[in-house]
Amino acid sequence: MHPFSYTKVSDVGGALAAGRRGGRYIAGGTTLVDLMRETVERPGELVDISALPLREVSTTAGGGLRIGALVSMAEAAAHPKVRATFPVVAQALELSASPQLRNMATIGGNIMQRTRCTYFRDVTAACNKRRPGSGCAAVDGFNRSHAILGASGQCVATHPSDVAVAFAALEATVHLQGPDGERGVAFADFLLPPGGTPDREQALRPGELITAVEIPALPRPLRSGYLKVRDRQSYEFALTSAAVALHVRGGVIRAAKVAAGGVGTVPWKLPAVERHLVGERPSTSLWAAAAERAADGARPLRHNGFKVELLKRTVERQLRVVGGTK
């Protein structure tokens, strides 16, 4: 591990001052410390923000939900407001990582976590994300777990977060505070696909701090849930996943929010699936027809062609579970 300095701050002003001079924010540390040990990351200064007052879960006007950036994954998953309002968020959290990690890791840190591409974590491998311009060992390497959607010639890594898939489906907003004040960024614009700059992963300005994630109010009743398909049933990342929320009134689907994980370079919203559902009556044939659109635009690599069919089946199954026509 490379030498670094450590500063603990107790208020947002102190954090921003440290961020302005180039300090790197750390809270649970469940990703960053690993990467520092492996010398993938070499920050000169760590700014410990774990004491900041960003630990509240609250209901917003109209019935949305605001989750403070420092709420732990375990706290958010167990919170009665999260469980009652958006079960898809609680389920995505409970299917992530391990109990120990969920106790330490925070909501803000979870959406900031870096890819699990093995070449990214191997400092001897070519990786444009770790070292821009060095190439991508995964394109012609073993790419079974990599992306089929949103990739570029520069990078084909997936985003590993589960709860980010739920946030993408529900069209959340990421609240930020920085040297120029506060702002909100739509979740769809917060995590960046690789394009020609895979080392740039979030739409953060220098020194900006995530303060909360806000899920907008959605029409009620709303049924929602998260399905994760992986090689083993615990402590494993998704091969595919689906976050689904449906508002059905008078026997007709009035609103549908759907996103997929494990397949995209960012959590992958599925607007074609949503459009296929809205205005229709729930049925097994509807779920199957809508799920056929889930892999629109997919470009599989040498080892991950199976994800195309697996994604469609994952989405179809979760539509059946949430839509209630098993």
User: How many residues are given for the chain?
Assistant: 326
Stretch that binds ligand SF4, among 8-16, 30-38, 127-135, 269-277 (CB under 6 A): 127-135
Nearer to ligand SF4, 93 or 148 (CB): 148
Nearer to ligand SF4, 89 or 136 (CB): 136
DSSP 51: T
Of 90, 111, 117, 243, the one binding ligand SF4 by CB under 6 A: 117
Cis check: omega of the bond before 206, within 30 degrees of 0:
no
Of 15, 64, 73, 120, the one binding ligand SF4 by CB under 6 A: 120
Say how many C-beta atoms besides its own lie within 10 A of residue 55's C-beta.
Answer: 16
Binding residue count for ligand SF4, defined by CB under 6 A: 14
CA distance 27 to 37: 16
Query: Mask of contacts with ligand SF4, 172-211, x by CB under 6 A?
Result: --------------------------x-------------
User: Two tokens at 49?
Assistant: 């923000």
> E-assigned strands of 179-239?
181-186, 209-215, 223-229
Q: In what order do the strands lie in the sheet with 252-261?
A: 223-229, 240-249, 252-261, 268-269
Closest approach, Cβ 250 to ligand SF4, in A, equals 46
Closest approach, Cβ 149 to ligand SF4, in A, equals 14
| Cβ contact 150:250 at 8 Å | no
Nearer to ligand SF4, 4 or 142 (CB): 142
Q: Which residues pair with 268 in a beta bridge?
A: 260
| Cβ contact 119:102 at 8 Å | no
Which residues in the 128-157 window bind ligand SF4 by CB under 6 A? 128-129, 136-138, 155-157
Closest approach, Cβ 186 to ligand SF4, in A, equals 24
Strands 252-261 and 240-249: antiparallel
Nearer to ligand SF4, 56 or 140 (CB): 140
Residue 237 binds to ligand SF4 (criterion: CB under 6 A): no
Furthest-apart CA atoms within the chain: distance in Å:
62
| Residue ranges binding ligand SF4 (CB under 6 A) | 115, 117, 119-120, 127-129, 136-138, 155-157, 198
